Structure 1
Amino acid sequence: MAAALMGPILAVLLAIWPPVAALGLDAGTGLNPAGGGVLAERLADWPEWSLPAPLPRPGRRDLVYPDVFEGTWEVRSEEVAPGSIAPLTYRVRFARNRRGELVGDRAFNAAQVGKALLGPQLLTVANDPANPNRQLATLQGDLSLESTVVGRRTEAAAGDPFIADELALQVVHGPGGTRISRVETLTRYELAALPSGPGPSGTASSAGFDQPGRLRALQWQATYPSPEDGLAAVPLSTHRFSLDLQRIPTTPLPASEGQVS
């Protein structure tokens, strides 16, 4: 069971994070038809996606987020589909890397989502110290999963949502052999400050424009077959998720402790 789940899970986990939010969305795609750009066009094609996708290789640079994401958030994630699993609750955090860029703490975030979904079956998630775009997860049953981001594009403009699309190559190793897949996760974030409810501890959250107490998002995800079957591909499966992020008040860490690679 764990092996079957790890492809879509680590895509949700490692290719992090959510897409659009709030108002004016098309009932079929969740897309606000206004706006342009390569990724807006990609969303308009959902669910008729295919590979190759318009995603340049990221090299060894991580996905950089707008400053409003800095800190720790409690996330409620729910699949937008009839009969899907119960909503999940977990935490994610964003911190500065050594270049001062704001990036997701991928290992922490992946471990949080994985534990919420798999419980004790997920043992560890670790970053590759030489490449922020590669993570390794270990599971019970002598299973492991390598996830490497091989394509990425972001779009943002003043007053517009932040959109990020990542394509990850995922390799599952286990007693039954090796299985390879590709997972594309497009996320579109509503960056405007939204009305904030009680924080996770029951206290009110602060919600200035620069540091909103709450964000909402949607996430579109497609799983493709192994590149061994050809670089061109259509999805084997597609999923869409709705996420609500609530800021958790925390004491800022010193730079040496708060950095992630």
Structure 2
Amino acid sequence: MNSLLGKILTGICAIVILWCGSQSALAGPLSDRLAQYPNWDARSNLARSEGELTYPEWFRGRWRATSTLLEQIAPLAPVIVTPGFESNRQYIDKSIEFKVQFIPTNPNRNVKFSPLNLPKLPSNLPSPQIVADRAFNGLNIAAAYLGAANVKSVKIDPQNPTKQITQLTQDRQLEAFVTGFDREIPAPDRFIATELSQQVFRTSATIYLNTVETTTSYQYSATPTPKITATQISAIYLSPQDPDYFRTRGRAVALYKYQLNLIPAIDTQL
């Protein structure tokens, strides 16, 4: 199980599955947070999330992504080491490829319409916003790390757009949902985002819970061909239900650093 769980944690951390937050025009706490790596003594204090993250327009379309694990650290080893940490070493400097896409969405899609009580909508509706296609992205990432034969489905809870459920073979399930987020736009070609998410991995015999903080700094280049590069840091924290939780004193038990590269996929441009 440790090997499988390690693959799942690595896959989930490979690319950010982000939701909405307020926009900042200048560098701020997220830039500082990245600069402090690996000295993350406590997780970020983020506001609770509602809705979805809107990306810059240059994310629009389908991309061929390459994720490479550059480094992993267990700050509390050998006293506390997360399941699958050692098996994740096989991914260091190994590139994993998958497709992701970012799609336009109607910002008023959550408005409830009734044939007896149609709401009055303003004539100057905002333009469609760019969001991650979480089901598409989650399925491709899971298949890349776990093997397509081991992934039955990836679904988004229709009542909670921040909740993703990955159903695996042999009655195994990974549930992840965002609890907090923030983002910054230091420059027109840069985008930084962070999120906190709760993850629950269930099998017929066990349940494993943790909290994941993921911070990613994206850089866009339009010439000679569009390209997005990113540095991503993921930190794993134990849940309060873990018997070692109080021994950690709120510190991360695992840190992962990735390099992400996205180039346009030639099959579809949304």
Q: Shorter-chain TM-score: which interval?
A: 0.7 to 0.9
Match status 1:190 vs 2:223: no
- Tell me how far apart the structure 1 counterparts of residues 268 and 99 of structure 2 sit (CA, whole Å): 16
Please list, as runs of the form range in 1=range in 2, the aligned pairs for 1:109-128 lying within 5 A after superposition.
109-119=137-147, 120-128=149-157
Q: CA RMSD in A?
A: 2.4
Contact 2:164 2:175 in 1 (8 A): yes
Please list, as runs of the form range in 1=range in 2, the aligned pairs for 1:122-201 lying within 5 A after superposition.
122-159=151-188, 161-196=190-225
Aligned residue-pair number: 219
Select the structure of larger CA radius of gyration: 2
**Partner secondary structure for residue 176 of structure 1:** coil
Cα shift at 1:217: 1.3
Contact 2:8 2:145 in 1 (8 A): no
Structure 1 234/5 Cα, relative in aligned 2: closer, same or farther at 3 Å?
Answer: same
User: What is aligned with 2:11?
Assistant: 9
- Tell me how far apart the structure 1 counterparts of residues 219 and 162 of structure 2 sit (CA, whole Å): 24
User: What is aligned with 1:204?
Assistant: none
Structure 1 223/93 Cα, relative in aligned 2: closer, same or farther at 3 Å?
Answer: same
Report the more deviating stretch, 226-235 or 182-191.
Answer: 226-235
Match of 2:102 among 80, 94, 100: 94
User: What is aligned with 2:31?
Assistant: 40
Match status 1:67 vs 2:57: yes
- Report sequence identity in percent: 31
User: What is aligned with 2:239?
Assistant: 226
Runs of 4+ deviating beyond 6 Å? none
Cα shift at 1:236: 1.2
Cα shift at 1:11: 3.4
Match of 1:107 among 117, 127, 135: 135
- Tell me how far apart the structure 2 counterparts of residues 252 and 46 of structure 1 sit (CA, whole Å): 35
TM (norm. structure 2) is: 0.74
